[in-house]
């Protein structure tokens, strides 16, 4: 059985640390340029160095995205950026553009290169092409079935790695190549500035009937609504491993620490349980499902893995996320008196029941006993976003424990 890497996204240094603590084997991040998440916080050179150092101390790797589809004016900047990365030392670059790939091979000849899903990697010939040029890994197109991935595995060198998405938002465009954002807003998705217009609400109006909105129907050729459900393969770890996939990739570089911790912890346990004993994995399926359901999501689908998705893979009623839990903060330090220090993310109050989420898989329901400001002034609540507070929860806490509140059934 091949090794299985759990690859988690991070949009900031704090989230990177959370990903590593909650089970990531590797984390992928973006610098301040040339990645496809320009609206994410992204990493300065200093944060990137700190993140790589933290990951390596904990036995994890860091991959840096440089996967824009470059225009002429980008190439000089790409070269300068790669020169800067020499002194930072990520474990790999994620690239989609052949011109950017050649610059990376020249400037960083020892750097491992992974080919982004943006490169439309849909067949074994494409994998072999990139392998001959020196790529270590190719990210499979989201349009591939598990059977197609299995066929690719059989036809490529054993030392070449396959990375595939296992969880997260599904882009409606082919391998993520979209013109919709650029056309409607002037912001190019392929340059990292997607405004996600696929999630907007649309209606059909005929030119000669202004103001008359008509229903949009499905037919046997597919759906014409853009808003896809989120991918979730937590119930299909065995099939993913048996297909020969080396790296299970979670989508979401713009997600919160709570999202990252929740999916990382659930998939980490699922992978480890299956490799230890398939029966243990089957026994714990309910726990995996329950935990994954606590993330923000748009309902779940298995995407293309078991055949082309039909109308059931789209959402017609709403473009909003389901939000079952609210992120309150991450424990940064614990005093001798048991108070924990957090940067508060959402409001909560003394007397309220909340949940402590721990990296080892346990969840502890607690009651907020007391809240003080940073200077020690007692407070009844923490109403201000990003306020530094100390909280007494009456239980043993450790750095990187997460505080969350259930929003299910008004709890």
pLDDT at 211: 72
Q: What is the pTM of this model?
A: 0.84
For the purposes of burial, counting CB atoms within 10 Å of the CB of 261, is it exposed (0-12), middle (13-18) or buried (19 or more)? Answer: buried
- From first CA to last CA, the distance across the chain in angstroms is 43
pLDDT at 197: 60
| CA dist 315 → 18, 155, 167, 229, 321 (Å) | 31, 37, 17, 6, 11
Residue among 94, 58, 99, 60 nearest 79 (CA):
99
Q: Which residues of 360-371 are buried (b: 16+ CB within 10 A; e: fewer)?
A: eeeeeebebeeb
pLDDT at 193: 61
Q: How far apart are CA 84 and CA 31, in angstroms?
A: 11
pLDDT at 384: 82
pLDDT at 165: 94
Residue among 398, 348, 231 nearest 299 (CA):
231
Q: How far apart are CA 104 and CA 75, in angstroms?
A: 11
Helix (H) or strand (E) holding 63: strand 61-65
pLDDT at 21: 98
Q: How many CA atoms lie within 13 A of 42 on its CB side?
A: 18
Query: pLDDT digit of tens for each residue in the chain (411 aa)?
Result: 789 999 999 999 999 999 999 999 999 998 876 765 444 457 899 999 999 999 999 999 999 999 888 889 989 999 999 999 999 999 999 999 999 999 999 999 999 999 999 898 999 999 999 999 999 999 999 889 999 999 999 999 999 999 999 998 766 665 555 555 554 565 655 555 666 666 566 565 666 777 776 555 444 444 344 556 789 999 999 999 999 999 999 998 778 899 999 999 999 999 999 999 999 999 999 999 999 988 766 677 888 898 776 544 444 444 444 568 999 999 999 999 999 999 999 999 999 999 999 999 999 999 999 999 999 999 999 888 889 999 999 999 999 999 999 986 544
């Amino acid at each position: 059985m091949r090794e299985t890497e759990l690859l988690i996204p991070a949009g900031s240094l704090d989230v990177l640390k959370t990903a590593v603590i909650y089970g990531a084997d590797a984390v992928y991040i973006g610098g301040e340029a040339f990645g496809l998440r320009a609206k994410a916080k992204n990493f300065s050179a200093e944060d990137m160095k700190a993140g790589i150092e933290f990951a390596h101390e904990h036995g994890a790797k860091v991959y840096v995205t440089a996967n824009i589809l470059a225009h002429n004016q980008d190439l000089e900047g790409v070269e300068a950026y790669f020169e800067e990365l020499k002194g930072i030392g990520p474990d790999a670059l994620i690239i989609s553009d052949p011109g950017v790939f050649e610059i990376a091979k020249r400037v960083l000849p020892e750097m491992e290169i992974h080919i982004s899903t943006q490169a439309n990697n849909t067949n074994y010939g494409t994998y072999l092409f990139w392998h001959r040029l020196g790529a270590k890994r190719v990210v499979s197109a989201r349009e591939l079935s598990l059977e197609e991935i299995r066929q690719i595995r059989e036809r490529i060198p054993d030392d070449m790695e396959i990375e595939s998405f296992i969880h997260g938002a599904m882009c409606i465009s082919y391998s993520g190549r979209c013109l919709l954002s650029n056309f409607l807003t002037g912001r190019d998705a392929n340059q990292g500035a997607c405004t996600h217009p696929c999630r907007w609400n649309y209606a059909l109006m005929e030119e000669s009937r202004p103001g008359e909105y008509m229903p949009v129907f499905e037919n046997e050729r597919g759906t014409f609504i853009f808003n896809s459900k989120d991918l979730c393969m937590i119930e299909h770890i065995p099939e993913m491993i048996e297909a020969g996939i080396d790296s299970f990739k979670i989508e979401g570089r713009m997600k919160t620490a709570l999202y990252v911790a929740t999916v990382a912890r659930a998939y980490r346990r699922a992978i480890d349980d299956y490799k230890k004993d398939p029966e243990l994995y089957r026994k714990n399926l309910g726990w995996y499902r329950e935990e994954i359901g606590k993330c923000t999501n748009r309902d779940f689908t298995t995407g293309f893995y078991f055949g082309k998705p039909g109308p059931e893979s789209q959402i017609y009623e709403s473009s909003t996320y389901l939000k079952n839990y609210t992120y309150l903060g991450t424990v940064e330090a614990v005093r001798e008196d048991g108070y924990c220090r957090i940067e508060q993310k959402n409001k909560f109050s003394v007397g309220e029941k909340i949940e402590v989420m721990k990296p080892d898989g346990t969840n502890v329901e607690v009651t907020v006993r007391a809240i003080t400001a940073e200077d020690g002034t007692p407070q009844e609540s923490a109403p201000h976003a990003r306020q530094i507070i100390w909280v007494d929860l009456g239980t043993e806490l450790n750095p990187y424990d997460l505080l969350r509140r259930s929003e299910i059934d008004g709890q």
